[in-house]
Structure 1
Amino acid sequence: MSETAKRLAELGIVLPKAAAPVANYVPYVRTGGMAPGALPQLWVSGQLPLGPDGKLDERHRGKLGPDSPIDPAREAAERCAINLIAQAHAALGDLDKVVRVVRLGGFFNVASSFEALPQAMNGASDMMVNVFGDRGRHARTTVGVAHLPLNALAEVEAVFEISF
C-alpha cells in the first residue's frame, strides 16, 4: 500500500470512482514539464462536490450570499478536493507519484457577495495538505462566479507535478 493510500485510510477517506466528463472535455491531461528539465504535470478538470454516490447533496447546491454560513461552502470545497484526488488516482494509479500539488483554482457560486471565499476554499487546501503533507502545499486562486454546473456551490481544479 502506498504512503498516500495509508494516509487516506488514516483520515477515513474512501476515494469515489472518478467522475466521467459531462461535456466535450477530458477529466485530466498529462503533459510534459513546462520548462526544460521540469517534471511532467497532471492537469485535472474542475470537480464538483459530488458525494460518494455521484450525486450533489442539497447542502452543496445553490448560491452563496452575504449571510450564508461558511460550513456548506467549506465542505463543498473539501468534497471537490476529494474528487480531484480520485481523478489523480485514476490517472496515475498510485498517488505517491504526486510530487507536489502545484495549484488549485476554486470557483464559488455567489449571488452578490460572500466575503468568506478564502476561508471556504481552505476546505480544498486543507484536504490537499492533510493527504499529501508538505507536497500538498500549493498556490491558489479563489473567485466568486455567477453560476456553476448543476447549481453547485463550488468547483475546484488542480495542477499536480508528477513523477514517471
Structure 2
Amino acid sequence: MPRVNGELPYTGKVGAEVTIEQARELAEICVLKGLSCLEAELGSLDKVEQVLKVTGFVQSAPGFSQQPKVLDAASELLQAIFGEKGRHARSAVGVAELPGNTPVEIEFVFAVNANK
C-alpha cells in the first residue's frame, strides 16, 4: 500500500475523491515501497534479474475505466529503474473497495538471483 510516514496521502475512489494524477502518484509510491522491501530482503536490487508481473488494483468510482492509465505510472517507473529488466506482464484491475480505503494497491513478482 502507498503509505508515506504511515499514512495514505489520498483515500477514496479514483474517478471520484481521487484524481488520475493522484492515483498515478500512489502507484509510483507503491513501486518505491515494494522495491524498498525487496532491497531489504535481498541486500541489493542488483540481484533482480527481471520484473515478471505487476498486478495493480484500483479502487474505482462507478464508470471509471482508466485503470491502465493509473498503472502506467508504475510500469514506467520500473522500466526507468531497471531498463529492459523492468519490462513485465501487467494486469490493471478495477475494484469496488480496497483495505484502508486506499485508492491503489500493487502486487509484484520479480525473478532474482540470490547468488549475485
Higher RCO, 1 vs 2 (CA within 8 Å, ≥6 residues apart): 2
Match of 1:89 in 2: 39
Match of 1:20 in 2: none
Mapped partners of 1:131, 1:141: distance in 2: 20
Aligned residues with identical type, % of pairs: 40
Match of 1:56 in 2: 8
**Secondary structure in 1 aligned to 2:51?**
strand
Largest Rg, 1 or 2: 1
Output the TM-score relative to the length of structure 2: 0.91
Structure 1, gaps ≥5 residues long: 1-47
| Equivalent pairs, count | 114
More helix by share: 2
Mapped partners of 1:138, 1:50: distance in 2: 24
8 Å CA contact 1:108, 1:144 repeated in 2: yes
Offset of 1:99 from its aligned partner?
0.3
Output the TM-score relative to the length of structure 1: 0.65
Mapped partners of 1:127, 1:95: distance in 2: 14
8 Å CA contact 1:66, 1:113 repeated in 2: no
Aligned partner letter, 1:123: A
Offset of 1:146 from its aligned partner?
1.1
